[in-house]
């Protein structure tokens, strides 16, 4: 019997190595895909952030920011902090609406800007009325405290009388603004407003302040003592 000779296994052809030019193309495609993925993730994150920091009720915010010489982003930050953009919000002390205005504060503002209008406290559930009144009052706070956002926020929250006493009691370096906020609730509120405002500025850097054809709240008259009733936030 004749022994069969074992044939050697056929060798597979070696895969051709990519040329330097092909490698460069592959690397460029991979880099582009990575960049597109990063941009997509950033875009999605940015959209989520914009939902967390929205510009709701922009028609009213922009108009009354312009009327009272305010940066509209400040108003968005205050509304976000006060009510989370819920026009029907009502606090335990019966502060109402988007900017959480108490009845005493409502009556004070009404006497300044709408003395002859048939408005009642319940009208603060109307977004435009609430933004109108809240914008005026926050502008008054800024006028009174040298345009300092943190001090104005403290005054909006806790009342002018409280802030004035703190300024006189050693919590101010210039006699006009606060450098410390000794009450925990006040401090948290100020941090929320200033933090939200900073984030709004980052998310909406092209926003312009509403100062065109604007008068100040002081020009509308703010010498009378404002109510010291705090908001609910």
What are the tens digits of pLDDT across the range 104-154?
A: 999 999 999 999 999 999 999 999 999 999 999 999 999 999 999 999 999
> Is pTM beyond 0.85 here?
no
- Residues of the chain with pLDDT > 90, as a percent, come to 66
Domain extents in the chain: 22-52, 57-220
- Which tens digits make up the pLDDT trace of 56-94? 999 999 999 999 999 999 999 999 999 999 999 999 999
Q: Can 50 be counted among the known catalytic residues?
A: no
Per-residue pLDDT band for 211 (boundaries 50, 70, 90) equals: very low
Confidence band of 21 (pLDDT split at 50, 70, 90): confident
> pLDDT at residue 213 above 90?
no
Q: What is the pLDDT of residue 34?
A: 73
pLDDT for 231: 52
Task: Tell me which CATH code domain 57-220 carries.
Answer: 1.10.530.10
Looking at 55, 59, 62, 82, which residue is catalytic?
82
User: So what's the pLDDT on residue 2?
Assistant: 54
Phi, then psi, of 96 in degrees rounded to 5: -125, 150
More confident residue, 219 or 55: 55
């Amino acid at each position: 019997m004749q022994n069969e000779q074992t044939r050697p296994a056929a060798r597979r052809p070696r895969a051709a190595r990519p040329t330097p030019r092909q490698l460069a193309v592959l690397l460029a495609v991979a880099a582009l895909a990575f960049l597109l993925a990063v941009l997509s993730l950033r875009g999605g994150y940015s959209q989520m952030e914009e939902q967390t920091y929205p510009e709701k009720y922009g028609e009213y915010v922009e108009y009354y920011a312009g009327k009272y010489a305010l940066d509209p982003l400040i108003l968005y930050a205050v509304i976000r902090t006060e009510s989370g953009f819920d026009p029907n919000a009502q606090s335990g002390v019966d502060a109402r609406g988007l900017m959480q205005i108490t009845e005493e504060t409502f009556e004070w503002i009404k006497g300044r800007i709408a003395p002859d209008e048939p408005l009642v406290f319940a009208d603060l559930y109307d977004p435009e009325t609430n933004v109108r009144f809240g914008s005026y009052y926050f502008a008054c706070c800024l006028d009174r405290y040298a345009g300092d956002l943190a001090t104005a926020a403290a005054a909006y929250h806790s009342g002018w009388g409280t802030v004035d006493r703190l300024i006189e009691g050693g919590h101010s370096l210039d006699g006009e603004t606060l450098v410390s906020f000794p009450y925990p609730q006040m401090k948290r509120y100020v941090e929320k407003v200033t933090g939200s405002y900073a984030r709004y500025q980052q998310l909406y850097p092209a926003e312009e302040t509403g100062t065109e054809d604007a008068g100040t709240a002081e020009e509308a008259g703010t010498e009378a003592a404002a109510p010291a009733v705090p908001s609910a936030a």
